[in-house]
Chains A and B, each alone.
Chain A
């Protein structure tokens, strides 16, 4: 038995960027005048997509455009995409916090949305009072909360502090209580936005477990937004990938997360960009010596960096390298001064070589290269200078198996009897 529980048709949301508040009366009048003449809204004409790095003339941007999807009852759907892809906007529209500019969503059943934990908690009120208040804000009746009170308190593990004002709670207790209230709301649809980023590992696991239980055994529909591909894959069956306000891929969660990860790579390969620096010394080219850019575990990664000092006669400087994972987090950094001296460059072109063993988990990584001078000022800093892949094979070609952690340090083991 599968039924459509949420259906979005032609959904769009336009935002005005830049200054809001200056000249709005004249703008409002202009809009109103267009409306009474039955003309199109003059400020919504330009249908641009939401690419944040492209500067544009118009100050109206479509944060979401032409969104169509259907979600079946009991599905756990992961909504993924880079920052600014429109995930939060979509959740806000779904939870009725803001209205769409075009299109509509229809659905069945009650929605509980958890865009933030502990919305409406009042620090002066006790845990018990806040359970009722928060529950009511989320749409529960008093009787319903009364019935679930023991369960909520039990899940949050705060029995002893139930009548203490929440301002005396530790942040962990606070978050546990808040999640507990929301998780026990009897709703057909549960919307969760990255709230799991808070709380300790054990509690995160408990939350994921609860959400799993909610979707798998209770047959409720879960919409989950996260940057953590691990938990998305663990929890969801299906995914929606958003890119610049449009749906770029829908379907099985494995495929969608994969296309998210590769999308990042593709986007990056042609986005060699100078992020910062005076550019008195410029980094011209960064190249991996290995052509296929794929490295086995602990294989040597060799990188050649060529630069051009056009302006200064003699400059003492230090090179550095940063490594980012496919989610854009910087996970490692190496400075020339970690192992060596600063170098003095003549007014000329030159190059140097960097090398390190590949101690990274299987996945795609980006390299960012920079130089700063004696005074610590950036001369140049290039983002997305190069990409490489850690292949997931050991040097002896055996396969790396998934485990906890993000790196595989070079280490030695010795049995001492």
Chain B
């Protein structure tokens, strides 16, 4: 038998920045298989199958339209209400799913992680990609709704910023991933954070321009609008809305700011994740 001369070593200390990205690449097949597993196991033994992906954004949109749009009368920048909310919800859901699922990655996979080695980074990456499938399905719903409003001649228009759509997706994915990994690393020791996440994500939604436009927030609460402005998800959602619906506060500066924050959090997340990964089996 031909001996693989690949040499390895297992050491007590490792460099903080040894991220083993070449290993992640070597395990890329696993990434796809995990995504496939998540997708297939989601709809096995269900009647509606992937249609379930539609139901949540659809009903949330209806309820938001009714409560925030009609009952509370919050402005939607002159856009059709369902369209406005669904744009926010679709984008927010993707980010929130990436964040919450990534933040429990050690806890959920303690069993596998305790028995087999593979680059741990594969797991959060597979979560982000699996959610992308879900996001794509929900985007179809959003596009259908856009088609409907276009047909009845509602007031919205697609702008050039739609070209930024891939950037928006990547930013949401990486932001959710980075933040999620930081939290996941800390939850291995301090379990309380896990509770904070589910609750915190809900609160964070209200500090993001999901149910109101940024312009209204600035107009009504000029003193507190900075909280919303400096929330990196705000420029991302605003860009998304501006691209698809043509009405939002888009600026290159704020998008640049969101990109900066995303990459800082991502790098921090990956470094912390890699550090914790080495010993988490002993504490979890």
Contact between chains at A106 and B41 (CB < 8 Å): no
Query: Given known contacts A99-B279, A122-B41, A133-B37, is B191 in contact with A141 (CB within 8 Å)?
Result: no
Contact between chains at A97 and B115 (CB < 8 Å): yes
Q: Tell me the complex Cα distance, A170–B152, Å.
A: 58
For B118, the chain A residues whose CB sits under 8 A away are 137, 139
Contact between chains at A136 and B11 (CB < 8 Å): no
Contact between chains at A218 and B12 (CB < 8 Å): no
Binds A, one of B27-35, B64-72, B158-166, B247-255: B27-35
Q: Does residue B141 face the partner (Cβ distance < 8 Å to A)?
A: no
Q: Tell me the complex Cα distance, A15–B281, Å.
A: 11
Query: Given known contacts A133-B34, A136-B30, is B116 in contact with A115 (CB within 8 Å)?
Result: yes
Those of A13-37 within 8 Å (CB) of chain B:
15-16, 20-21, 24-25, 28
Q: Does residue B10 face the partner (Cβ distance < 8 Å to A)?
A: yes
Query: Given known contacts A99-B278, A100-B12, A104-B12, is B3 in contact with A188 (CB within 8 Å)?
Result: yes
Q: What is the size category of the interface that chain A forms with chain B?
A: 35 or more
Q: Encode contact with B along A152-189: 1 for CB under 8 Å, 0 otherwise.
A: 00000000000001000000000000000000000010
Contact between chains at A120 and B112 (CB < 8 Å): yes
Q: Does residue A113 face the partner (Cβ distance < 8 Å to B)?
A: yes
Contact between chains at A142 and B29 (CB < 8 Å): yes
Pick the residue among B5, B11, B191, B282 that contacts A21 (CB under 8 A): B191
Instruction: Tell me the A residues contacting B by CB distance below 8 Å.
Output: 15-16, 20-21, 24-25, 28, 73, 92-111, 113, 115-116, 119-120, 122, 124-125, 129, 132-133, 136-142, 165, 188, 218-220
Ordered by A's residue number, 23 sampled pairs between the chains whose C-beta atoms are within 8 Å are A28-B189, A94-B10, A97-B117, A101-B12, A105-B10, A106-B7, A106-B10, A107-B9, A108-B4, A108-B8, A110-B6, A113-B117, A116-B115, A119-B112, A119-B115, A125-B41, A129-B37, A129-B40, A136-B27, A136-B29, A137-B118, A142-B33, A219-B1
Instruction: Tell me the B residues contacting A by CB distance below 8 Å.
Output: 1, 3-12, 14, 27, 29-30, 33-34, 36-37, 40-41, 44-45, 111-118, 189-191, 278-279, 281-283
Kindly list 19 other residue pairs between chains A and B, CB separation below 8 angstroms, not including A24-B190, A110-B4, A122-B37.
A25-B190, A97-B117, A98-B281, A99-B11, A99-B12, A99-B278, A106-B9, A110-B6, A115-B115, A119-B115, A122-B41, A133-B33, A133-B34, A133-B37, A137-B30, A139-B118, A140-B29, A142-B33, A219-B1
